[in-house]
Structure 1
Amino acid sequence: MTKQTARRAAAALALLAGLGAAAWWWHSAGAAGPLEPLILATNTSYVAMCPVLAAQQQGYFARQGIAAQIQPHTSGKAALQAALQGRAHLATVADIPIMFAVLEQVPVTVVATYFRAERDHGIVGRKDHGVTLPASLKGKRVGVTPGTSSHFVLNAFLNRQHLAAADVAMVHLKPEEFAGALLRGDVDAVSGWEPYLDALLKQLGRNGVMFDTDDLYEIPYNIVGAHGYVRDHQDTIRKLLRALIDGNRYCAEQPQAAQAMTGAVLQSGSDKWRELWPTYRFAVGLDQALLVGLEDQSRWAMANRLAPAGKVPNFLGALDYQPLKAVAPAAVTVIH
């Protein structure tokens, strides 16, 4: 982790701690009874944290009787691991890490999708390393976080260029390592998501090139937990979902305030995500598209030998739609 990244992480942690204290004060000043503690592992390097931040800062968690602690991570995959390892109660994560967890027979449960984005992924490369056109990635070193949406998008992008995964040298990096590796020349390109991509492009200046992958993947961000926790804390999940519904409404209806709140934690050095804000979908639900996506991704994982070949799992077993159905019945459209 660079010094700049460390400073940003420290600032984010301080802000999140302050928001938690404010929520506690809000509840103690106007509501009776103790708050139920809840640790929510969240990718605080991605704009999908907005509804979570809003639920904490605006007092929606506290209103539901929850003392939420936001545990910051730099990827959804890391957040999911924290929840599955018992370091957090629940996590926010995209669909790819969920798919791998199910394939590995890890007892993981999705309770809702709460955010979707179509234009947040891409590939940034160095022109002086010969990365000028999509096809020029052949033979290049490409940084990627394995088992994440950036991994899936890279494979899909290569396939469109009639290239195989073996045609590039994939270098496994954490998202916070993208900038250092690319600027030092340890890799020729990186596959990632905003705001990392735009920040990198600005640092590279005229030497940088970006390939958009807008139509290759829609990222759904979800609330997920270990199966045992979700099964034993149905009332807690319902409270969380009510708070997130309010948080989503805030992010959708108060864009300027929501962007200011998100930017204070994100601290990315890029405003690209602000430009993309109107394209984000802030809504809590569980729909068939999530299942279809998980099935398609599992076929991709098996075909690329990222998972043992076998039968596509029934991903419906990894969904618990009962809490959301109790809170917002119309939001559950998955066939069950």
Structure 2
Amino acid sequence: MRSKFAIAAVLLVLLLGAAYVVSQRSPSKALPLEKLVIAVNTEYVGVCGVVAAQRQGYFADENLTVVVQPHSSGKSSMQAVLENRADLGTVADIPVMFAAVAGTPVRVVATLFRTEKDHGLVGRRDRGITGPASLKGKRVGVTQGTSAHFTLDVFLNWQRLSANDITIVNYKPEALPEALYKGEVDAVASWEPFLGEIRSHLGDNAVSFSGEDVYESIYNIVGMQQYVLAHPETVRRVLRALMSGNRYCRDNPEVMQPLLAATAKQTKEAVLAAWPSYHFEIELDQGLVLALEDRARWAIRNRMAASDQMPNFLEYIYLDGLSAVAPSSVTIIH
């Protein structure tokens, strides 16, 4: 009789465990189906978590129907959010900073991804680009108001040069490679995958300068204050799905690397080589606040900002969502 009770107890524990697993995998079955649009820079490896969440069904597990709206830059994704063409968007720190300095009510929901090795410059050797100092007097293409613009400015400063020592030509990110090939500019400042595409096309004629020590890309998911505050449960569901997506990226690089290579228009070898520098973590870290303040000082000093006043960036970060889902991932002092 005792053995029967023991077997029954074991079965009960197993059943409860299975139920727990199912509840963890499908936490939102009681929640209503919700549709939302996420503006995504689909040509950037940093959005791996979004791609995985869509591909592996993590959004669906949260009863979310997500439309991924493709863009070629975080600046473009931010514009879609500002114009209410998307509910959320993936965007680097620079567009967030510009919006906050202008007083635009955006909210960072979480940081998706960080890396320090995907920005830089590429110049043409046959245009006299041989080293950093040779940029003086040259035409340099860049997408103004982006992380590449910040990288270029800091890089010049490190070489004891300034924006006045070069001619800056503004292009959309996807237009930069062709501008360099045609000789409209002598060098470009950009990010991957565009830099890799240019190096591959130019071969020995390419001269590269890494932005590794100049700029760390902090890639985030953002929304307008009105949407974020009105949809707290949706935000939590999105964050849970993205956490699962990022975990999948970390645990299954052999699956995601070729997929991202195709999405980001990079070679598998390029993605593989850079993979160790990619940090797929959903977080809200104090470093984000410090980075936003640093970028704001740059924009104000160069008279690119809508105001000369430093905003309180805590007012532009939504802490409640991630605090509810993963409180240990919130290290912002508040």
TM-score of the superposition, structure 1-length normalised?
Answer: 0.89
State the shift of 1:304 in Å.
Answer: 1.1
Percent identical: 52
Unmatched 5+ residue regions in structure 1? 1-26
Q: Is structure 2 residue 315 aligned with structure 1 residue 317?
A: yes
**Residue 263 of structure 1: how far off its partner (Å):** 2.2
**What is the distance in 2 between the residues matched to 1:38 and 1:44?**
17
| Offset at residue 34 of structure 1 (A) | 5.5
Give the partner amino acid of 2:78.
L
Offset at residue 260 of structure 1 (A):
2.3
User: In the alignment, which residue of structure 2 is the partner of 1:193?
Assistant: 191
How many residues are paired up? 309
- Secondary structure, in 3 states, of the residue corresponding to 2:38? strand
Distance of 1:84 and 1:136 partners within structure 2: 39
Distance, in Å, in 2 between the alignment partners of 1:308 and 1:76 is: 19
Q: Counterparts in 2 of 1:228-307, with a 5 A limit?
A: 228-269=226-267, 271-307=269-305
Does 1:128 find its partner at 2:147?
Answer: no
**What one-letter code is carried by the residue in structure 2 that aligns with 1:333?**
T
Q: Deviations over 1:151-190 (max 9, x none)?
A: 0000000000000111111110111001110000001000
- Residues 32-47 of structure 1 correspond to what in structure 2 (within 5 A)? 35-47=33-45
| Counterparts of residues 161-240 of structure 1 (less than 5 Å) | 161-240=159-238
1:92-114 per-residue CA deviation (whole Å, 9 max, x = no partner) reads 00000000011111111101001
RMSD between aligned residues: 1.7
**Quick check: 1:157–1:216 contact (8 Å CA) kept in 2?**
yes
SS of the aligned residue for 1:281 comes to coil
**Preserved contact between residue 195 and residue 273 of structure 1 (Cα < 8 Å):** no
Instruction: Give the CA deviation at 1:198.
Output: 1.4
Q: How far apart are 1:219 and its partner, in Å? A: 0.5
Whether the 8 Å contact between 1:198 and 1:270 is mirrored in structure 2 is: no
| Deviation for aligned residue 1:270 | 6.8
d(CA) in 2 for partners of 1:270, 1:175: 21
Contact kept, 8 Å, 1:122 with 1:197, in 2: the verdict is yes
In the TM superposition, residue 278 of structure 1 has moved relative to its aligned partner by 1.3
Larger radius of gyration: 2
CA distance in 2, matches of 1:228, 1:309: 23
State the partner residue of 1:155: 153
Task: Please give the alpha-carbon distance, in whole angstroms, between the structure 2 residues aligned to 1:34 and 1:264.
Answer: 34
Paired with 1:271 and 1:104, the residues of 2 have a C-alpha distance of: 41
Tell me which stretches of 4 or more aligned residues in structure 1 moved more than 3 Å.
30-34, 268-271
1:331 counterpart residue number:
329
SS in 2 for 1:306: coil
With the length of structure 2 as denominator, give the TM-score of the two structures: 0.89
Secondary structure of 1:310's counterpart equals coil
